[in-house]
Structure 1
């Protein structure tokens, strides 16, 4: 946005280009295709912000990530890039259009079929252990993204083969995320990623999807290793999401910016003098358990980070009061911008997560809230499903929206035994197949077949911010097959598995959720409950708490 706000740069843009600004959360299909296009054109990985230059047919021929408004960091200014691209296109228009057609060929080669039936999937995950930071958690290097769905797959395979490295990788990650700078120790929740390799200084942006994934993994790990520390962090983060992400629709918005008053992290960090003034005699106790100092730990300021020593029960109660006091002061500061648009895939994913942790901790208020939010989503999508809603306006729908809605409906059936949720799930899964199934490539594409406005079909089975819609759909089909004994769902799942559209041996790090769900499909455990659910409530709760994430629950009247 620095370049967009520069008048000289804006003048060049308006003079020489038709400019279209896209929110990647509203159009993930565009983001997916253009990120791949950049890699093909330049041989470099993509990123954000992303600027792509398209020919008159809407096919990209050049692009890049960050360009500053003025030449700096060894990068040319955006205005300079704009002039060069405009001049090049004017002189080489025919060559550019010819090159653009070659990009389509590269996309088609990338979508070759490769069956994974019968493969041992475990080695793909084991190979990833070579890149894990077993001291600080997560993947080696910086910036460091937590990538929780990868570690959820580690946990799945640990439960299957007891490879302790999988378990250790998950535990080390969660311990460091919960205790260090990525975590908001006053309000709960986590930031987008760490700018360093020790989780000290986060990029302070807070995304809904990161917090969903964090809660999901923490809840599953808690079942393996129950303790009050994990429980406290999880409950605090659930409350943070429920309260701080709530929007006008009483559903959840998408994200908080990193900056306030034009300064990144200003809302969250602390000056030592302010801490001493506010805490007075309690400063020393707080400094005993949190890494605060006169010089700070980030640009002269203090990011709250827990020290490794544990407080006594009495000290912990005092620390809670201190943190409440600091939070009340922080809440008076100008807040980062809240993007309050409702994304259907993320809201459905959140409700499924809330159902799960409500069962783990037997939280009736969370169960009621999940049902209330489900009814809100159902009402919002009763006429037509869109991907995003803001101020009653909708943005076109994508595969993930249908896949996560169906997953939610199946989860509600599994937790309640009520047949109406199962009927809704069957309807949505069938609609997903009808709308998104690409008969030529034999896979679900990212947007509806009849609504594709891109130069190539947006076929994608790679995980991005959340597990890929194809992998979610696959597990939905296998669960419906187990519940209904209808071979139709088996046929859909088999079609996808037989037509796996990526090179698993080359791209396994990008397809972790697919690997996990494929493995679950092969060994899906089913629990069948007979008779009146109320009479077997204790057994049902035990199964839901311990097996909801790795099995299918079926209900029969007799």
Structure 2
């Protein structure tokens, strides 16, 4: 075994038996490169990455290839989920070279950590050729390599904020919304949902913004595109029809064949998205998706202490998707008299709809259309589907499972807390809140030290301190918990963490947050995360945190910071909303303003649940059974001794009401 055997990262531990003399990122490896004047190979991936496994199997387990790597390079393995700061820098460098990014990410550096060449997956023959050529070039053409490395390093030092920040131009909210909508709409796939491209990622923030656009404008086409997308995704192979939960993306344009890995962060965001869509449509299929995803997470992704694991691999027994697919004969044997109906429902054929006679379970029609052409009543059909799923799930549990990345990442856990609290808010089912609170207690016990966060936990917490996304999502989770429980402890924690993050991560010069703290390890560049990916930008989440806490705690300084951060990117939000969708949500909240909903009295939770089961994306909630020192709550009193709701905006309140229906109507029409 090599020195990676001492790591806590499941990804690094997967490489602990390689003949490559791997180092973890750190002083020992970097000092070795400087002393021996060797180029550094940084190979970055994560435990559920399919092509990472392929390259390991083909190249890193090959003794002859390992010998070349060990002789000429200092080889460093990095788990991108534990060290996203390193991944960000070198991904940016590779993309600047004109190479499409992806994982595994293999980057060659000078002994001073400056990148000069990189790429993603390489076949064994290509990899040996690259190793040989780079070694020769490093010896014979050092000046050219140093020149490229210096140029790339200068690129990495350029600030995205400086490149894109502009003075905002004041326009009407309706115009802004229409600009954003039109930019998104030209790329809609109006047949299969999502955007017109393949492979297809769900990108939840885009659809969440469209729901908010609909809430303001009642633009039916916007709502239709969201419903179409969520229907097609929920019916497709990207959704685990038997066990619940979503795969990372679909390799085709029809959501049919997934890249089978399941990531916690995708499922966290989709819990929120499907719950919000249900709040508008009351479509039971959306509710089913939320509950099945929750059951999958509890069954397969939750530790006894309440922490949520990171990911499930795409592969089992070395074959992608093997755990999830079925033959027609298996269904016949297991489901007996219901086999033909279920086969028709899930598009299962004797020859298979996928590879090697296997079938990915996918639905081509909604239940309503399916039942129009099959002789079974709706109630009986629900019972047949439920029982068939139970049988198939029980059988599937006997198979060899995909690899589990049981690393617990702070940011992703907080994202799931947000998803769970949103589900609790809309479905008013305590199972979601209990899981969210248990997870937050786990984070506080294992990954927090006062206001300091740590990145990850596996048996014990890692030594890596939290990054901006860890703080951003934990603050957001605290805020969400407060607004469904009205326990001021959660709000106080959010406020303390926000103060800490401003002190340690905020750049007063540019007005945005660095991804790493002021006292973090000095890498060759210190980045600010601006653009959304599948996970929204940590700066966008922080802007929303500043705005929401600024409203609730009446902190104009925090609100002004949020407004400055968001409006300075208004042109980007309107011009590139696919990459700025979460910013678009914050921008829309700021332009429209947030209703301040204060509930006071003994039965505040009955009123809260009655209000929050409706879709009110532009409302923030405060409450107390007795009294509170919160600035927007302190003067709110009972009317006639009964629990009372105040709906306010900019601290100016409408007449108090005492029913959820009246309060809901006020929020909706403000």
If the TM-score is normalised by the length of the shorter chain, which range does it land in?
A: over 0.9
- The 1:497–1:194 alpha-carbon spacing in structure 2 relative to 1, beyond 3 Å, is closer
Match of 1:67 among 122, 133, 146: 122
Give the conservation status (yes or no) of the 8 Å contact 1:51–1:65.
Answer: yes
For residues 482-512 of structure 1, the C-alpha deviation after alignment (integer angstroms, 9 at most, x for no partner) is: 1121223124324534665995566442121
Give the Cα separation in 1 of the matches to 2:190 and 2:390.
33
Structure 1 residue 162, shift from structure 2 partner = 2.8
Give the conservation status (yes or no) of the 8 Å contact 2:109–2:117.
Answer: yes
SS in 1 for 2:237: coil
Give the Cα separation in 2 of the matches to 1:249 and 1:185.
28
Give the conservation status (yes or no) of the 8 Å contact 2:511–2:561.
Answer: no
- The 1:155–1:547 alpha-carbon spacing in structure 2 relative to 1, beyond 3 Å, is closer
For residues 124-180 of structure 1, the C-alpha deviation after alignment (integer angstroms, 9 at most, x for no partner) is: 342122112110111222111111221111222222223333212211111111112
Greater CA deviation, 296-305 or 380-389? 380-389
Residue 267 of structure 2 is matched in structure 1 by: 211
Match of 2:391 among 325, 328, 332: 325
Hey, which bits of structure 1, 4+ residues long, moved more than 6 A?
none
Give the Cα separation in 1 of the matches to 2:567 and 2:594.
22
- The 1:135–1:21 alpha-carbon spacing in structure 2 relative to 1, beyond 3 Å, is same
- The 1:320–1:490 alpha-carbon spacing in structure 2 relative to 1, beyond 3 Å, is closer
Residue 504 of structure 2 is matched in structure 1 by: 435
- The 1:530–1:274 alpha-carbon spacing in structure 2 relative to 1, beyond 3 Å, is closer
Match of 1:523 among 551, 570, 592: 592
Structure 1 residue 452, shift from structure 2 partner = 4.2
Matched, 1:57 2:112: yes
- The 1:413–1:295 alpha-carbon spacing in structure 2 relative to 1, beyond 3 Å, is same
Residue 493 of structure 1 is matched in structure 2 by: 562
Give the Cα separation in 1 of the matches to 2:530 and 2:329.
51
Residue 46 of structure 1 is matched in structure 2 by: 101
Matched, 1:13 2:69: yes
Matched, 1:88 2:154: no
Give the conservation status (yes or no) of the 8 Å contact 1:254–1:339.
Answer: yes
Give the conservation status (yes or no) of the 8 Å contact 1:400–1:469.
Answer: yes
Residue 254 of structure 1 is matched in structure 2 by: 310
Match of 1:457 among 521, 526, 531: 526
Matched, 1:447 2:516: yes
Give the conservation status (yes or no) of the 8 Å contact 2:331–2:343.
Answer: no
- The 1:99–1:442 alpha-carbon spacing in structure 2 relative to 1, beyond 3 Å, is farther
Residue 73 of structure 1 is matched in structure 2 by: none
Structure 1 residue 549, shift from structure 2 partner = 4.0
For residues 84-121 of structure 1, the C-alpha deviation after alignment (integer angstroms, 9 at most, x for no partner) is: 12212222222322332222433416442323463554
Residue 221 of structure 2 is matched in structure 1 by: 165
Structure 1 residue 317, shift from structure 2 partner = 0.7
- The 1:272–1:392 alpha-carbon spacing in structure 2 relative to 1, beyond 3 Å, is same
Computing the radius of gyration over CA atoms, which structure comes out larger, 1 or 2?
A: 2
Give the conservation status (yes or no) of the 8 Å contact 1:409–1:424.
Answer: yes
Give the Cα separation in 1 of the matches to 2:478 and 2:561.
18
Match of 1:477 among 519, 526, 546: 546
SS in 1 for 2:457: strand
For residues 166-215 of structure 1, the C-alpha deviation after alignment (integer angstroms, 9 at most, x for no partner) is: 21221111111111211111111111111111111111111111111211
Give the conservation status (yes or no) of the 8 Å contact 2:159–2:527.
Answer: no
SS in 1 for 2:78: coil
Residue 352 of structure 1 is matched in structure 2 by: 418
Matched, 1:404 2:456: no
Matched, 1:540 2:597: no
TM-score scaled to structure 1, two decimals? 0.93
Give the conservation status (yes or no) of the 8 Å contact 1:528–1:554.
Answer: yes
SS in 2 for 1:20: strand
For residues 496-547 of structure 1, the C-alpha deviation after alignment (integer angstroms, 9 at most, x for no partner) is: 3466599556644212111221221232322332532x23433322333335
Give the conservation status (yes or no) of the 8 Å contact 2:270–2:419.
Answer: no
Give the conservation status (yes or no) of the 8 Å contact 1:110–1:502.
Answer: no
Residue 127 of structure 2 is matched in structure 1 by: 78
Match of 1:105 among 146, 149, 154: 154
Give the conservation status (yes or no) of the 8 Å contact 1:182–1:201.
Answer: yes
Residue 663 of structure 2 is matched in structure 1 by: none
- The 1:486–1:401 alpha-carbon spacing in structure 2 relative to 1, beyond 3 Å, is same
Alignment of 1:53-452 (within 5 A): 53-70=108-125, 77-107=126-156, 108=158, 110-112=160-162, 113-116=165-168, 118=170, 121-122=176-177, 123-247=179-303, 249-299=305-355, 300-308=357-365, 309-310=370-371, 312-383=378-449, 384-394=452-462, 395-452=464-521
SS in 2 for 1:62: strand
- The 1:270–1:464 alpha-carbon spacing in structure 2 relative to 1, beyond 3 Å, is same
Give the Cα separation in 2 of the matches to 1:195 and 1:515.
27
Structure 1 residue 442, shift from structure 2 partner = 2.7
Give the conservation status (yes or no) of the 8 Å contact 1:475–1:521.
Answer: no
Aligned residues between the structures: 550
Structure 1 residue 396, shift from structure 2 partner = 2.7
- In the alignment, structure 1 segments of 5+ residues that lack a partner are 71-76
- The 1:278–1:508 alpha-carbon spacing in structure 2 relative to 1, beyond 3 Å, is closer
Give the conservation status (yes or no) of the 8 Å contact 2:99–2:119.
Answer: no
Give the Cα separation in 2 of the matches to 1:220 and 1:507.
24
Residue 643 of structure 2 is matched in structure 1 by: none
Give the conservation status (yes or no) of the 8 Å contact 1:136–1:198.
Answer: yes
- The 1:502–1:468 alpha-carbon spacing in structure 2 relative to 1, beyond 3 Å, is farther
